[in-house]
Amino acid sequence: MTSKALLKFTPSGIYCEQADVFIDPWRRVKRALITHAHSDHARWGMEAYLAHNHSIPVMRLRLGKDIRAQGIEYNQSIRINGVEISFHPAGHIIGSSQIRLAYQDQIWVVSGDYKVEDDGLATAFEPITCTHFITESTFGLPVYRWSPQEEVFSQINDWWASNAAVGRPSLITAYSLGKAQRILQGVDHEIGPVFTHGAVENTNEVLRKAGIQLKASRQVIGQGPDAHKKKDFQNALIIAPPSAVGSAWVKRFGTHSLGMASGWMSLRGARRRRAADRGFILSDHADWDGLNWAVQETGAEYVYVTHGYSEIYSRWLREQGYKSQVVETLFGEEEEQEPSPTLDQK
Ligand SMILES: [Zn+2]
Ligand SMILES: [Zn+2]
C-alpha cells in the first residue's frame, strides 16, 4: 500500500491519526471508540467514549455513572475529519461491535472480540468487507471446535435436572457479562429456579433497564429477613462468576455440584485444575473454523492478529497467502480475568 496506514499500533492503543481517535485504548486518551464493555476493552479514564447503545449502560455500571459516553446504533455512520466510522455486530456479547474506519482507499475493521454463532442475545456477527482486518485469536488453534450451542445447553439441562432430582444445588460459573446472560437464556427454566450472584444480577438489571428481555433470575440474598435458606437452592441453578468458587459465598449452598462453562473446558486438565465436577464447552469467542471463515469473508489483504494464539494464528494466515502480522495489545481472555466478587452481598 502506498498511502500511509490509516490505523497504527501505539503504546496507548490502536490509533487513527486522521480522525484522532483510539479504539479500545489502555491509556488515558481524548476520544475512545469502544468495541464492547468487557474490562480489557472498555477501560476507565478516557475523556470521551463512543460505543454501541447497549454497551453504554454496562460501561456506566463498571466505569462510573458520570463518564462522558455517547451511544451509536449498528450501521449508523459518523464522519470525523473525512474518516467514515461505523459500528457493526460482532456477536460476542450484547452491544459488542466491530468498528469500521474508511478513508480514501483503505477500509479497516477492528473486530474486538467476536463469535460467529448467533446466540440469540447479542446481535449476530456480520462479516464486513475491508482491506485491513484486526482479528482476535483467543481460540486460534485447530483443537478448538465448538459443538452447536443447543447440544451444550441440553448437557447443562441434563446435569441440572439430575442434581435437582436428588436435592443437590447446581452451581455454574460464567463471566458476569455475556456468558451469564447466555446461560440464563439458554437453560430450561422448568427444571427449577435460577439464582444469581450479585455481580451477575447487577449486570442483568442494567441490561433489563436498557430494554433487553432477559428471563427471570433472582439474586442470592445472604442476610436479613429475606435471606435464602439452604432448601431454596435444592433444585436451583446458581449462576456465579468464576472468582466466587472457593470463596465464603458458596458455603451457603452446602453440598453442591460445580459446573463451569468456558471454551477452555475443551482443554484436557482445565476442569480438574479448577475443581469442577462438570465442564461445559461454551464460548463467546469464535472457534478455529469461525475465525477462518470470518477472516475469509472480509476479503482483507492485511490481517493483524491480537489476543490469544496470535503468533501461531498469524503464521497460519501467512501460509494461506494473507499479509499478516501479530500486534501487541493488552486485550486478554475475560474468562481468566474475572474481578474478585464482593462476598456476602445483600
Ligand atoms: Zn470480550
Ligand atoms: Zn477481549
What is the 168 CA–ligand 2 centroid distance (Å)? 34
Give the pLDDT band (50/70/90) at residue 331: confident
For domain 149-280, the CATH class is alpha beta
What is the 41 CA–ligand 2 centroid distance (Å)? 6
Please tell me the predicted confidence (pLDDT) of residue 40: 92
How do residues 192-233 score in pLDDT, each as one tens digit? 999 999 999 999 999 999 999 999 999 999 889 999 999 999
What is the 96 CA–ligand 1 centroid distance (Å)? 8
Query: Which value, to the nearest 10 degrees, does the dihedral of the CA atoms of residues 235, 241, 246, 251 take?
Result: -40
Collect residues with CB below 5 Å from ion ligand 1.
Answer: 38, 113, 334
In angstroms, the Cα distances linking 291 to 5, 100, 111, 113 are 24, 18, 11, 11
Please tell me the predicted confidence (pLDDT) of residue 274: 67
Ranges of each domain in the chain: 7-143+285-336, 149-280
Sequence-separated contacts (24+) of 290-297 with Cβ below 8 Å: 290/115, 290/116, 290/117, 290/146, 291/135, 291/137, 291/139, 291/140, 293/116, 294/111, 294/114, 294/116, 294/125, 294/127, 294/135, 295/133, 295/135, 295/322, 297/127
How do residues 249-302 score in pLDDT, each as one tens digit? 999 999 999 999 999 888 877 666 667 899 999 999 999 999 999 999 999 999
Collect residues with CB below 5 Å from ion ligand 2.
Answer: 40, 113, 331
pLDDT at 64 over 80: yes
Q: Say whether 149-280 and 7-143+285-336 share the same fold.
A: no
What is the 42 CA–ligand 2 centroid distance (Å)? 10
What is the 167 CA–ligand 2 centroid distance (Å)? 37
State the pTM of this model: 0.93
Q: Which CATH architecture group holds 7-143+285-336?
A: 4-Layer Sandwich (3.60)
Residue 97: nearest ligand to its CA?
Answer: 1
Using an 8 Å Cβ cutoff, are 302 and 320 in contact? Answer: no
